[in-house]
Amino acid sequence: MPPRPFQIDVPQAVLDDLRRRLERTRWPEPIPGAGWDYGARIDAVRELCDHWRDSYDWRAQEARLNAYPQFLAEVDGVDVHFWHVRGSGPQPFPLLLVHGWPGSMFEFFDLIEPLTNPAAYGGRAEDAFDVVIPALPGFGFGGKPRERGWGITRIAAAFNTLMTEELGYDRYGVQGGDWGGIVAAKMASAHAASVAGIHLNFVVAQPPAELTDADREALARRDAFQAVETGYSNVQGTKPDSLTVAQTDSPAGLAAWILEKFQVWSDCGGDPFSAYSKDALLTNLMFYWAPNSVASAARIYYEARRDPDGFRYPKVEVPTGVAVFPKEPWRAPRNWAEQRFNIVRWTEMPRGGHFAALEQPALLLDDVRAFFAGIR
C-alpha cells in the first residue's frame, strides 16, 4: 500500500479536556528557594502551563504543521507518520531527519524550507534536499507499536524500508540527534548499501583502552552527569508504564518531566525560556499530549535496552559528519568517536545544546549543507 496523505486534526474535545485538566492542576508546594536542583522548578512549570491554558493557540500551530505534505506509510505493521517535502534544486538529495526523546519531528520544522529551497535562504540551488522527517514509531501522531521488540535495530530497518521501498530512494543521507543519532548510526551500519552518509549531533562512543589526561577528564565529566541526570532513563528503561500513567493523565506532569530536560540539556544559562519560545516548547509537548503517545514514546528506552544488537555493530565505514554543540551533555571526544565512525567532518560549534535543530537551526543547517556537499 503506498503512503497515504495525512493531516494533523486534533478533535476539539481533546483541546477542551486539556484546558480543564490544566485549570484543575493540583500543584505541589516547593521548598522555599529551591531551583532546578530538585527537578523541574515548580514556578517555571506553572508559568508554562498558564501559557498553555490561556494563550497558546494550537489551531494556529496545527495549520503551520499542515502546510507541508504529510503521509502515513505502514511499515512492519506500524503506521509511520512523516513529512515528505521535495527540494526545488536541479537534483535534490534525499535526506532523512530523525528526532529523539523528549523531542519530536517538530524539532526540524524550521529547517524544512532552508533545506528544500536553499537558494532562498543563503545557499546554492544545488544544495537542495528532498526532506523526509518521520516520527519515531510510537511518537506523535503516527502508529503505536502493539507488540514488543521495537528497539533500535527494528526502527533502523523500518526507516530504511520507508526510504527505499516506500519512497523509492536508492541512496540517501541521515541526520539525527539523541535517539535519532543512535538510529542513524545503526542505519549506516546495517544498511550501508543505501545510506550514503550520516550527520550526527549526538555520538555514542566509549573511551579508548589507553587513556590520556584529556580522556580521563571527559570520562569523569560523563560519569558525573550519568550519576545525577539519568534517572529518567532508568525509569523509562525499566518500568515506563508506572510513570506514564501519571503523565498521560496530567498535562502539568508531562510538562514538568519534559521541560526539565530542555533546561538541563540546553545552552540556556539555566532558563529554558531564554532558548525556546513557550509556543515552541508547547507544540513539542502537544506531539505527546494530543495523540496520547506519552507511553508509547517512553517505551523506546525499555525496548532499546532489550535489543541486543541496537548498540553493537562494527565500525561505521559510511562517511560521518559530527556537529559538537558545547552544551550537549553526551558529547564524546573525537578520538572516541573515531573508533566507531569514519569521521570526515568534525565541527566544534560556538553555542547550543542537545536539541540542536530547535535551538540553533542556522548552525546545524550550515554544517549539514557543508557535509553533504561532499557526499551527494
Domain segments of the chain as ranges: 4-26+40-373
| pLDDT band per the 50, 70, 90 thresholds, residue 1 | confident
For 244, other C-beta atoms within 10 Å of its C-beta total: 23
User: pTM of the full predicted structure?
Assistant: 0.97
| Biggest distance spanned by C-alpha atoms of the chain | 60
Q: Which residues are CB-contacts of 347 (< 8 A; sequence separation ≥ 6)? A: 321, 322, 323, 324, 367
pLDDT at 90: 86
H/E element, 75: strand 70-75
Which positions are annotated as active-site residues?
178, 301, 354
Q: 190 is written with which cell numbers?
A: 546495517
Instruction: Give the pLDDT confidence of 246-268 residue by residue, as tens digits.
Output: 999 999 999 999 999 999 999 99
Which CATH number applies to 4-26+40-373?
Answer: 3.40.50.1820
Instruction: Give the pLDDT confidence of 76-111 residue by residue, as tens digits.
Output: 999 999 999 999 978 999 999 999 999 999 999 999
Angle at CA 195, nearest 5°, toward 192 and 198?
A: 110
| Nearest-angstrom CA–CA distance, 196 and 210 | 32
Cβ atoms of residues 69 and 85 within 8 Å: yes
DSSP assignment of 342-374 equals EEEEEEE-SS--S-HHHH-HHHHHHHHHHHHHT
Q: Which residues are CB-contacts of 270 (< 8 A; sequence separation ≥ 6)? A: 35, 36, 263
Instruction: Give the pLDDT confidence of 299-330 residue by residue, as tens digits.
Output: 999 999 999 899 999 999 999 999 999 999 99
Question: Is pLDDT at 211 greater than 90 in this prediction?
Answer: yes
73-111 in b/e form (b: 16+ CB < 10 A) is bebeebbbbbbbbebebeebbbbbbbbbbbbbbbbbbeb
| Nearest-angstrom CA–CA distance, 292 and 248 | 7
Question: Is pLDDT at 209 greater than 90 in this prediction?
Answer: yes
25-58 in b/e form (b: 16+ CB < 10 A) is beeeeeeeeeeeeebbbbebbeebbebbbeebeb
Give me the chain's average pLDDT, please.
97
Sheet strand arrangement including 129-134: 4-6, 70-75, 78-85, 129-134, 93-98, 172-176, 195-200, 316-324, 341-348
Cβ atoms of residues 251 and 258 within 8 Å: no
| Nearest-angstrom CA–CA distance, 330 and 100 | 14
Instruction: Give the pLDDT confidence of 6-38 residue by residue, as tens digits.
Output: 999 999 999 999 999 999 999 999 999 889 999
| Nearest-angstrom CA–CA distance, 362 and 376 | 21
